Amino acid sequence: MSTEGKVIKCKAAVLWELNKPFSIEEVEVAPPKAHEVRVKMVAVGICHTDNHVVTGTIVLPLPVIPGHESAGIVESIGEGVTTVKPGDKVIPLFTPQCGKCRICKHPESNFCLKNDLGKLRGTMQDGTTRFTCKGKPVHHFLGISTFSQYTVVDENAVAKIDAAAPLEKVCLIGCGFSTGYGSAVKIAKVTQGSSCAVFGLGGVGLSVIMGCKAAGAARIIGVDINKNKFAKAKELGATECIDPQDHKKPIHEVINEMADGGVDFSFEVVGLRDTLMSALLCCHEACGTSVVVGVAPGSDTLSVNPLVLLTGRTWTGGIFGGYKSKDSVPKLVADFMAKKYSFDALISHVMPFEKINEGFDLLRSGKSIRTVLTF
Ligand code: CND
Ligand code: ZN
Ligand code: ZN
């Protein structure tokens, strides 16, 4: 029996209160409106940004269904949708690409003005919601809310991918892999023979290392306070790994000494004030570039002596690895299918969607890299 045009009742992970476990609830998912697409989820990864919603580091109206790294199959489409059809394999895009705004028309930028990350309204682009639970509206996360068996997304926030792609793997292209890899190859534009330092060796940080290696970096220094992350970092291309707790000196001074005055490229992939500062200061004062990837609390500020930049450092950052999402995601999947990279080292756990709280516990205790939940 077709579900097209009807409300679908299904299971979703709803966050009702901060710092509480998700409740798996029955929710109603409205049909897609014009220029919207309803997607049946197949696989979803757990990214630290989802945990930022649980802790309130990212402030959203509650209740909300988080999740932003996923792959699924189109169930139905609204009026006027032309780029996907029912049955297509797709990846929802937490940064949309409307193709019309100033940013979409800019040759380099990717933070489309239709995004919800800046405003955090917790709605679809038209300002309304498609989920209800126990008679109450439930908010969306970054316009895609993928911790649900079915979700509705705007057409500019979903990309059609290769019909042969394994969804339980390529879901990582929805965030972690693309964010990390693109931060190295697209935002920093890491050069052949260069030196790099990567702070934070989780799913995103390890993907930065994969990007640095692919770009031909000669030296890649991994930095983490959890030594259990070092083996994988080395497997993926780190030439050495250091734990700031093993050093008396500030870690940026240690790296400055190790790397002839500082690395060419540094990446902050944690989301803390201290590591943002260390990453900035560990790149060379005259020719270094430091990239902000980690998401810090919105209320945090950094105070920087202007000389730190006056000497010639570049300080930058980016969402989703700087990729224009709708154009780039199918290409990143094609590269995966052509075996340009593998996600086997990044996916540490696979479990059924219902075990979502167990997956978050593994992330918080530093025991997982990426947990993929399957529906
Ligand atoms: P995950 O939790 O897997 O990794 C974080 C790593 O940082 C862990 O290995 C920690 O041990 C390590 N760490 C914690 N504190 C320190 C410290 N003081 N010094 C060094 N290392 C430390 O997280 P993830 O890889 O999923 O995400 C990392 C960050 O990237 C996080 O802030 C997330 O919100 C952000 C992000 C950004 C974007 C984007 O588009 N820019 C997209 N997704 C996630
Ligand atoms: Zn746009
Ligand atoms: Zn993410």
pLDDT tens, position by position, 16-48? 999 999 999 999 999 999 999 999 999 999 999
Per the domain annotation, does 336 fall within a domain? no
Which residues are paired to 27 by β-bridges? 10
Per the domain annotation, does 123 fall within a domain? no
Return the closest-CA partner of residue 37 out of 78, 92, 93, 91.
78
| Closest approach atom of ligand 1 to CA 200 | 7
Per the domain annotation, does 21 fall within a domain? no
Q: Residues 278, 251: contact at Cβ < 8 Å?
A: yes
Q: Residues 290, 317: contact at Cβ < 8 Å?
A: no
270 lines ligand 1 (CB under 6 A): yes
201 lines ligand 1 (CB under 6 A): yes
Q: Residues 91, 170: contact at Cβ < 8 Å?
A: yes
| Closest approach atom of ligand 1 to CA 321 | 40
- The CATH number covering residue 198 comes to 3.40.50.720
Give me the mean pLDDT over the 196-223 stretch.
98
As a whole number of Å, the CA-based R_g of the chain is 20
pLDDT at 253: 98
138 lines ligand 1 (CB under 6 A): no
pLDDT tens, position by position, 151-188? 999 999 999 999 999 999 999 999 999 999 999 999 99
Q: How many domains does the chain have?
A: 1
49 lines ligand 1 (CB under 6 A): yes
| Residue whose token pair is 């929805």 | 174
Token pair of 264 as six digits: 């060419």
CA distance 262 to 288: 7
Give me the mean pLDDT over the 183-205 stretch.
98
Per the domain annotation, does 117 fall within a domain? no
Helix and strand numbers (H, E) in the chain are 11, 18
Q: Residues 57, 38: contact at Cβ < 8 Å?
A: no
Per the domain annotation, does 81 fall within a domain? no
**Cis peptide upstream of residue 330 (ω within 30 degrees of 0):** no
Q: For all residues of the chain together, what is the average pLDDT?
A: 97
Give me the mean pLDDT over the 217-243 stretch.
98
The values of phi and psi at residue 65, to 5°, are: -110, 105
- Beta strand 265-268 with 195-199 is parallel
Which residues are paired to 372 by β-bridges? 45, 350
Q: Residues 164, 248: contact at Cβ < 8 Å?
A: no
Ligand closest to Cα of 112 equals: 2
Boundaries of domain holding 287 = 177-321
| Closest approach atom of ligand 1 to CA 68 | 43
Write the residue with the smallest CA distance to atom 40 of ligand 1. 319
Q: How far is the CA of 29 from the centre of ligand 1 (A)?
A: 32
pLDDT at 298: 82
Q: Residues 323, 178: contact at Cβ < 8 Å?
A: yes
| Residue whose token pair is 């803390």 | 272
Using pLDDT thresholds of 50, 70 and 90, give the confidence band for residue 300: confident
Per the domain annotation, does 261 fall within a domain? yes
For residue 351, give the 3-state DSSP assignment: strand
142 lines ligand 1 (CB under 6 A): no
What ranges make up the beta strands (E) of the chain?
A: 8-14, 23-29, 36-45, 64-65, 70-77, 89-92, 131-133, 136-140, 150-154, 158-160, 195-199, 219-223, 240-242, 265-268, 289-292, 314-317, 347-352, 370-374
CA distance 139 to 94: 15
Would the pLDDT of 1 be above 80?
A: no
Using pLDDT thresholds of 50, 70 and 90, give the confidence band for residue 58: very high
Give me the mean pLDDT over the 55-78 stretch.
97
CA distance 119 to 138: 17
Residues 6+ apart with CB under 8 A from 324: 97, 104, 110
Return the closest-CA partner of residue 170 out of 325, 336, 34.
336
Per the domain annotation, does 158 fall within a domain? no
Residue 135 burial (10 A CB sphere; 0-12, 13-18, 19+) = exposed
| Residue whose token pair is 């992330």 | 363
207 lines ligand 1 (CB under 6 A): no
Per the domain annotation, does 196 fall within a domain? yes
pTM above 0.85, yes or no: yes
pLDDT at 299: 82
Q: How many CB atoms lie within 10 A of CB 103?
A: 18
